[in-house]
Structure 1
Amino acid sequence: MAEATANPEDDTVHYDGPAGGWGSVRGITRIFGKEAASPLAMETLARQNKPHGFMCVSCSWAKPADYHPFEFCENGAKATLWELTSKRCRPEFFAAHTVTELRGWRDYDLEEQGRLTHPLRYDPASDRYLPCAWEDAFREIGAELRRLDPWESVFYASGRASLETSYLYGLFARLYGHNNLPDSSNMCHETSSVALKKTLGVGVGTVVYDDLAKTDCLLFFGQNPGTNSPRFLHPLQEAAKRGAEILVFNPVRETGLESFTNPQSPLEMVTRKATPIATQYHQVRPGGDIAVILGICKHVFAADDLAKEEGRRVLDAAFIEAHTHGLEAFEARVRGTAWAEIERESGLPRSAIEAAGAAYVKAERVTAFYGMGLTQQVHGFDNVAMLVNLLLLRGMIGRDGCGISPVRGHSNVQGQRTVGIGEKPEEVPLDKLAAQYGFEPPRKKGLNTVEACQAILGKRVKAFLGLGGNFLRAIPEQVAMELAWTDLRLTVQVATKLNRSHLVNGAVAYLLPCLGRTEEDRQQSGPQAVSVEDTFSTIYGSLGKRTPASEHLMSEAAIVAGIARATLDPNPRVPWDTWIADYGLIRQAIAETYPEFFERFNDRLWQKGGFYRGNKARERIWETESGKAEFSLPASLSAVGFADAPGRYRLITLRSNDQFNTTIYGFSDRLRGIEGRRDVLLMNPDEIARAGLEAGQSVSLTADAEDGIAREAGPLVVTPFALPDGCLGAYYPEMNPLIALSHHDIQSKTPAAKGVPVRIRA
């Protein structure tokens, strides 16, 4: 049986076993017992990610037409069991605890109180949440919003809300009069939206699920499927078995990219047989991906030089000529960059980079996958754009088995953007909305997450509506933000469980409990289905059947409609009550606004394997300024945006195996060999020795931003772990207080949590 252990060769903590297998089964069983879920939970799990079932609220991985008997992973099961808990957070709990007291509780303990059961209004006099009636809540929220300039409010959306709810939320904001619609994408993959739009003309990836069975080379940059999208491990295992090259570039050696035992294979479970995944695993230093990719491109150009002598080509010259712009400048930059500089910035030897280049040159069909290791950097745009450059050299965009794919981490975060959640007016069909609903939409750019935080700190925002999520824990600059938060006039949080963000309130504050996706949403016309979009731009229906946790819950869509109805003047073209009575009418409205994506939406809702909304770049139609796919030049070989200095480290924030975003299910990070705690500081043994530290020693981290603001996190326990030199690892969101609000990707303003300048204080 695989166990967490120290490596006897170097005393690093690690996990001696594969991803999946019996460890995954034990992880699910532990959460099942802890949440005291009913036996019906197993019936619910059997419907997860299935036709006419419900779509997982965890990652945004595909729901394939040919599904497994159990189409859920360890973390997807944990998310469902977390929602199906028998624990309830009733008004009696809030009567027994003040909000000030609850602020001292751990995130884990707050959420362990169970599902919220009643709408609540914060009472400053008693410092407690008190139950209230839904209509009273809507009436007061609407009255507060009507007193404000619309631009003084922010409507935030987490990535879990359905397409139907998201459409209503975005429409509400614009009918009210603003585009302040930040969402969780601003904190993770906004870099993708900006970089892919600039270089390929689309803001999403070009890969579809079927490409995974056709590719013969998969590139992985800064993404960990073992924890963040474990169902990805099934096609990865199949690719490995058929001999595909799987090249991984990541500072952390993640178990899910090293080996996998399929829990759905009785033979593998009995024999404990594991499939090796990565054929090459390169521990690039944080921020070194630009240098790595440029080095691979350098090898490609050299290989093309040799091929031309033999009368053939490595570059896809015909594709480059017909479909791209800017190769000459890019080639000059690559050829003019010395290998010594590439090695220094990447942390890898030339031989390792050339080995990866050789595998890339040999492949016929290449797919590239990446996560927040690329996007959450100061030069994250250049990270993504460099990966596009690499694929363009050999025509690996717009062919089956090829393409680029950001792996989204929240179930419908991509879909929310598709139907209008976002601060950029140019990405929403405002003229169509104007004609459809008889109003003049606001045309000014709204606030993204970082800008919203800056506006709250500057007292320019007076109201915050949160559609799910845990905003105050997910953002940078936590200490200053919590202090500024209490200056808000109105805060409204829609949620299923209690979290930290609900305990820091404006003058008027409401906590509104909603249905979970597993639960039956019964409206006037009967049970309602909703829809979501996955990371491959495919749309699925989702139908919950479980009895709601409380008779007092409302759906997210109904809550949005209730607030909107109380805030806005009546408009006969905007039938909030009619829409909530029958969500199919919302889908008809979506199809009218976005006919190119949602034609016959209701008819296709239950299409086997979902329906694909299309992608122009996949068709080699480039909606860029030049009308072609763009080669681009990186501003720097390092993505971190700060220079090395004595005593300065590059901190990467991590999520554990018992975690989804800010939600902590428990204290096991099994796949990294860490059990029972989260207050750890990971660094390699040589680095520990050079710093004059010892394993097990208690230290703190201080931010090393050059803005004069003191930021600190800790205490943390020094833990030997296999990381590159100069690199530290610690958990998110506990390390967010170290991240300056100004430390973000230059072009998208995505917080740069994968390369934070810090120092160690013993």
Structure 2
Amino acid sequence: MSDETKRRDHPWSSGGWGSVKAVTRILLQEKVALKDSKILLHQNKPDGYMCVSCSWAKPAQPHPFEFCESGAKATAWDTTAKRVTADFFRVYTVRELLAWHDHDLEEAGRLTEPLRYDAATDRYVPVAWQDAFDEIGRELQALEPNQTVFYTSGRASLESAYMLQLFARLYGTNNLPDSSNMCHESTSVGLKAAIGVGVGTITLDDFEKTDLMFFFGQNVGTNSPRMLHPLQDARKRGVPIITFNPLREPGLIGFRNPQSPVQMLTPGDTQISTQYHQLKTGGDTAAILGICKAVIAADDAAFADGAPRVIDVAFVEEHTTGYDEFARFVRELDWADIEQVSGLKREALEAAAAEYARAHAVIAHYGMGMTQHRMGVQNVRMLCNLLLLRGNIGKPGAGPSPVRGHSNVQGQRTVGITEKPELAPLDKLAGQFSFEPPRDKGMNIVEACEAMIKGVVKAVVNLGGNLVRSVPDRGQTEPAWSRLRLTVNIATKLNRSHLVHGQVSYILPCLSRIEIDRQAGGVQAVSMEDSTGCMHGSRGVAEPASPHIRSEPFILAGLAKAALKDHSTIDWDAWRDDYSRVRQAIAQTYPEIFHDFDARMWTPGGFPRPLPARERKWQTKSGKAEFLVPDELGEDPDMPEREPGALRLMTLRSDSQFNTTIYNHDDRFRGIKGTRMVLLLNRADMAMRGLHQGDRVTLETISDDGIERRVAGFAVVPYDIPPGCAAGYYPECNPLLPLWHYAKESKVPGAKSIPVRVVAVDRMNPL
């Protein structure tokens, strides 16, 4: 496959009438009335609500329809007319519901009242709010603090996240894992070591100033489609976009803007990628090193000829350390090794390097295709190396851009959700709230699961999410979850985590961010941080799904009061009634970021957090931006090279999915209909195994830990993917992902490179 984009080989572009039809379908499916569909007009507007799905930046001057297909689906999912009442649980036992598909559980509708599991009937039954708080409080008091895990998904607001971390630390634990542990922790670790901040450095303004963009392992068409608008604008200005991705993804090939009458009524669309390189799964480090090798070689030649340098020598000398060691390593690399590991030809990488050498301001976007590997932190560091070569950090139009997939996953870390005590302002919290916070390290997701399996963890409090379904190694983790003493789930809809329950289990239904939040202090608003480090206010506009559901701050305040009793100086009732009091506390804890919080949260486009790296101030160990010499050329040292026929399996999301939420079983962009149990394979790999389209296969994880991990029933689908690589959907493939198969340093599960083999074929029951 040529590295030039062959768009004629791919019949789908993102956006267009397919997107319009998908939005219409979800509105009808969820029985969202026409008048309620107008709620979408308030999405991502300065005076409206922030999208509950992705965390892409919100512009100061929004489009009339500032939502994408994915965001519209998320809004319809939350504003559905369907309800799960107490009558629902009178009809179905938990055992019966466990047989339902994940889609069907959430599709049942919004939860409407607090529920407690009744073991005698195997049903959830209604319970009064205060009774729920009191019993949960008693259960937590009976445990040692480190036996409890407080988890939060990326949908929680800044106010809720701050309250949860404070509750946990007052209770006595730093067990504060979150969804970052499963996706972008490699970013937090890698960027922090390289440039001194654990987040990206670009803002939306940089799109107007850049003259080249890279994409590594990020599928903008399904994960952050609103980003396609500034990408389309950049392409119209002639900005090249160079993509590295094992699969050819529509959102990175072409975009037909649904808000453009010309594009909707004519055959044309906007070509996104000007170069598209289908590297092997796990080949990112090798590909980046190939580009670096070509750039350094060009610089060496320029130096020898007395020509202008290719490397930004002044920047490297003043602002970085470790360049000489890195350059020596790169010069000694063999192109044959780079080609073998990356799966790309030298000519392709030199073409990308030539474009990079011509550009003056470069943005590097990336996603979980980079971070969810054994060498995920190294991948992030290599991308920083590439940017540092030409001074592309800390200047307009340039910098690393990790694209977060959840609406406030970055923000909750900013206000203290972390298991690492050195990253939390513990001394500040101690003085502010007159207590001694725990100083020992807490558990991340992997460690919490390991502790559950060992019986060390006894209770989990879930602020959103579907943790049972999203974690690796389901054959080990799900039985451990059901042995817990206490499970508490704060949620809008029913999911698997509520059904694989502890001995004592509660479902506490909460408001969606889209809904009007009325408290004793009046109508409340919340806030969140987007992928570019900007803070935004969010005000609900829809009527609540039920008069009996409560807001996240209300629920957290009730739980904290019941569990902490007199061991807290906080007036939780005041925080529950007026969220501005929570924001005042946040501003006191983090004055450099959140001063004048209440006023600034309504700034169009949000207000940015201070990031020293944007100003070329490096808060690293050396005081400079740091080059890294990699440990491995390949990203997955666990991959058994010795076994013939081994495949590298990467997990994917579909265009009808947000994390573990499945809107329907189709994937329009990849041509999949009616099922998610598919295995995307290169035709050569199919021929080698004698497989035909539609054959059902069983996959088995290749490991030597003595645990059998198998999943049956995958239908084979030929796809444009490199030989030796395979792809399947998340979370269906999670049972194949060992808990120990995680990124060094960050412990992010290695979901993008799972070593598997085909162990059985069923041609009697094809797709």
The TM-score by the shorter chain falls in which range? over 0.9
For 2:693 and 2:686, the matched residues in 1 are separated by 7
How far did 1:572 drift?
6.8
Pair 1:117 & 2:115 matched:
no
For 1:580 and 1:620, the matched residues in 2 are separated by 40
The amino acid of 1:705's aligned partner reads: S
Aligned match for 2:631, one of 631, 635, 645: 635
Are the equivalent residues in 2 in contact too, given 1:296–1:356 (CA < 8 A)? yes
Are the equivalent residues in 1 in contact too, given 2:373–2:636 (CA < 8 A)? yes
Aligned match for 1:296, one of 286, 291, 294: 291
Q: Which residue of 1 aligns with 2:161?
A: 166
- Residues 463-506 of structure 1: CA distance to partner in whole angstroms, max 9, x if unpaired? 10000000011000111111111221110001100111110111
Q: State the secondary structure of the residue aligned to 2:242.
A: strand
Q: Which residue of 2 aligns with 1:688?
A: 686
Q: Which residue of 1 aligns with 2:432?
A: 436
Q: Which residue of 1 aligns with 2:717?
A: 719
The amino acid of 2:88's aligned partner reads: F
For 1:272 and 1:131, the matched residues in 2 are separated by 55
How far did 1:596 drift?
0.9
Q: Which residue of 2 aligns with 1:131?
A: 126
Q: State the secondary structure of the residue aligned to 1:100.
A: helix
Are the equivalent residues in 1 in contact too, given 2:27–2:37 (CA < 8 A)? no
Q: Which residue of 2 aligns with 1:83?
A: 78
Q: Which residue of 1 aligns with 2:347?
A: 351
- Residues 602-624 of structure 1: CA distance to partner in whole angstroms, max 9, x if unpaired? 11111111100121111111111
Q: Which residue of 1 aligns with 2:699?
A: 701
Are the equivalent residues in 2 in contact too, given 1:286–1:640 (CA < 8 A)? no
Pair 1:455 & 2:455 matched:
no
Q: State the secondary structure of the residue aligned to 1:197.
A: helix
For 2:74 and 2:411, the matched residues in 1 are separated by 20
Are the equivalent residues in 1 in contact too, given 2:45–2:66 (CA < 8 A)? yes
Q: Which residue of 2 aligns with 1:403?
A: 399
For 1:504 and 1:584, the matched residues in 2 are separated by 37
Q: Which residue of 2 aligns with 1:7?
A: none
Are the equivalent residues in 1 in contact too, given 2:220–2:252 (CA < 8 A)? yes
Q: State the secondary structure of the residue aligned to 2:175.
A: coil
Q: Which residue of 2 aligns with 1:484?
A: 480
Aligned match for 1:202, one of 197, 206, 222: 197
Residue pairs, 1:252-651, within 5 angstroms = 252-308=247-303, 309-570=305-566, 573-641=569-637, 642-644=639-641, 645-651=643-649
For 2:449 and 2:480, the matched residues in 1 are separated by 9
Q: State the secondary structure of the residue aligned to 1:345.
A: helix
**31-40 or 492-501, which moves further after superposition?**
31-40
Are the equivalent residues in 2 in contact too, given 1:684–1:720 (CA < 8 A)? yes
Pair 1:247 & 2:242 matched:
yes
How far did 1:733 drift?
0.2
How far did 1:42 drift?
2.2
The amino acid of 1:411's aligned partner reads: S
For 1:60 and 1:246, the matched residues in 2 are separated by 22
Q: State the secondary structure of the residue aligned to 1:377.
A: coil
For 1:482 and 1:216, the matched residues in 2 are separated by 48
Residue pairs, 1:189-228, within 5 angstroms = 189-228=184-223
Aligned match for 1:17, one of 12, 16, 20: 12
The amino acid of 1:334's aligned partner reads: V
For 2:714 and 2:119, the matched residues in 1 are separated by 35
Are the equivalent residues in 2 in contact too, given 1:153–1:464 (CA < 8 A)? yes
Pair 1:41 & 2:36 matched:
yes
For 1:299 and 1:637, the matched residues in 2 are separated by 16
Aligned match for 2:47, one of 49, 52, 65: 52
Q: State the secondary structure of the residue aligned to 2:235.
A: helix
How far did 1:272 drift?
3.5
How far did 1:571 drift?
5.6
Are the equivalent residues in 2 in contact too, given 1:137–1:510 (CA < 8 A)? yes
Q: State the secondary structure of the residue aligned to 1:367.
A: strand
- Residues 17-37 of structure 1: CA distance to partner in whole angstroms, max 9, x if unpaired? 311010000010111111001
Q: State the secondary structure of the residue aligned to 1:674.
A: coil
- Residues 107-162 of structure 1: CA distance to partner in whole angstroms, max 9, x if unpaired? 01111110000100001111100000000000000000011110110000000000
How far did 1:13 drift?
13
Cα distance change, pair 452–600 in 1 and its aligned pair in 2 (3 A): same
For 2:545 and 2:344, the matched residues in 1 are separated by 52
Are the equivalent residues in 2 in contact too, given 1:521–1:555 (CA < 8 A)? yes
Q: State the secondary structure of the residue aligned to 1:494.
A: strand
Cα distance change, pair 220–344 in 1 and its aligned pair in 2 (3 A): same
How far did 1:691 drift?
1.4
Q: Displaced runs of 4+ in structure 1, greater than 4 A?
A: 12-15
The amino acid of 2:307's aligned partner reads: G
- Residues 144-195 of structure 1: CA distance to partner in whole angstroms, max 9, x if unpaired? 0011110110000000000000000000000000000000000000000000
Q: State the secondary structure of the residue aligned to 2:506.
A: strand
- Residues 49-85 of structure 1: CA distance to partner in whole angstroms, max 9, x if unpaired? 0011000011000110111000000000000000010
For 1:88 and 1:305, the matched residues in 2 are separated by 67
How far did 1:674 drift?
1.3
- Residues 225-265 of structure 1: CA distance to partner in whole angstroms, max 9, x if unpaired? 00000001011111111111100000010000000010011
Amino-acid identity (%) = 58
For 2:89 and 2:45, the matched residues in 1 are separated by 38
For 1:728 and 1:314, the matched residues in 2 are separated by 38
Q: State the secondary structure of the residue aligned to 1:668.
A: coil
Are the equivalent residues in 2 in contact too, given 1:150–1:176 (CA < 8 A)? yes
Are the equivalent residues in 1 in contact too, given 2:170–2:567 (CA < 8 A)? no
Q: Which residue of 2 aligns with 1:6?
A: none
The amino acid of 1:678's aligned partner reads: R
Q: State the secondary structure of the residue aligned to 2:558.
A: helix
Are the equivalent residues in 2 in contact too, given 1:14–1:721 (CA < 8 A)? no
The amino acid of 1:570's aligned partner reads: D
Pair 1:751 & 2:727 matched:
no
Are the equivalent residues in 1 in contact too, given 2:232–2:270 (CA < 8 A)? yes
Consecutive unaligned residues of structure 2, counting only runs of 5 or more, are: 1-6, 762-767
Are the equivalent residues in 2 in contact too, given 1:187–1:750 (CA < 8 A)? yes
Are the equivalent residues in 1 in contact too, given 2:640–2:755 (CA < 8 A)? no
For 1:475 and 1:29, the matched residues in 2 are separated by 32
Q: State the secondary structure of the residue aligned to 1:597.
A: helix
Aligned match for 1:652, one of 650, 657, 671: 650
Paired residue total: 751
For 2:640 and 2:618, the matched residues in 1 are separated by 36
How far did 1:14 drift?
8.2
Consecutive unaligned residues of structure 1, counting only runs of 5 or more, are: 1-11
